[in-house]
Amino acid sequence: MEPFRLMKMGMIEMICGPMFSGKTEELIRRLRRAKIARQRVIVFKPSLDNRYDEIQIVSHSAQRIPSIPVEDPAMMEHCLKQLAFPVEVIGIDEAQFFDNSLIPLVETWANSGIRVVVAGLDQDYLGQPFGPIPHLLAIADMVTKQYAVCVLCGAPATKSQRVLANHQKTQSGEKVLVGAHDAYEARCRGCHVCGVDKAVTVSRENDTTAV
C-alpha cells in the first residue's frame, strides 16, 4: 500500500448549474473560508463579464469579492507569475466563457498543489454543454451541481431559459417588447423551451438583489 503522503495536495473543485443557481455565491463562500484560513487566494473572471462590476465578482444576491478580469487563460498564468508569493487557492467565475486552453492550466495548477475552484454554466441556453466546463467536470476531484428554482413551476431548475426581456404594459394591459435585450430565467427540464421564450419574470437588468 502507498504510504500516506503528507505533501500538500492540490485539487479541482467544480461548481456548475444554470443561471441563478448560486454558483457565484458558493464560489465566494468557499474563497472567503480559504481567506479566513489565511490562505493566499486569487480570483479571476472573464473581462467580458462586467455586468455588475469591473473588478469584483458579484452574485445575483449582491455578494461580492475582489477579482482580476482577464481576457484569456494565458493572462491568468501571466498574473500568477507576477506575484511575490505563490497562491494556495485559485478561484475562477464564469469559466464557460474561456476557451479550452483553460483545461491544461487548471490541471497543471492542481498537480502543483493548488486548490482550484471553478464556477461556470454547464449548459448554454439551448441545453448544450458549455465551453471547457464539461471537460473540467470530467477531470475534477469534486463536483457540485447546483439547482435554481424554476420560475414557472417552482421545481429545481437545471436549465437557463433565454427570454425576450424588457416588456412593457400597453394601456390595455398587454405586454409588448420595447427592447431587443436578451435575458435569462431559470427553468426546469419540463418548462424549458429550446430557443427563446417569452419572459415570465419582469426584466431586472439593474437589480442586483433580484430574488
Cα separation, 26 vs 18, whole angstroms = 13
Of 10 and 18, nearer to ligand ADP (C-beta) is: 18
42 sits in which H/E element: strand 41-46
Of 56 and 88, nearer to ligand ADP (C-beta) is: 56
Cα separation, 161 vs 135, whole angstroms = 23
By CB under 5 A, residue 24 contacts Mg ion = yes
Smallest gap, in angstroms, from Cβ of residue 150 to Zn ion?
Answer: 3
Cα separation, 164 vs 64, whole angstroms = 28
Among 151, 165, 183, 188, binds ligand ADP (CB under 6 A): 151
Stretch that binds Zn ion, among 93-101, 117-125, 149-157, 202-210 (CB under 5 A): 149-157
Of 32 and 198, nearer to Mg ion (C-beta) is: 32
User: 88 an active-site residue?
Assistant: no
By CB under 6 A, residue 45 contacts ligand ADP = no
By CB under 6 A, residue 61 contacts ligand ADP = yes
Amino acid at residue number 137: L
Number of residues that bind Zn ion (CB under 5 A): 6
30 sits in which H/E element: helix 23-36
By CB under 6 A, residue 148 contacts ligand ADP = yes
Number of residues that bind ligand ADP (CB under 6 A): 17
Smallest gap, in angstroms, from Cβ of residue 166 to Mg ion?
Answer: 21
Active site residue: 26, 54, 77, 94, which one? 94
| Catalytic positions | 94
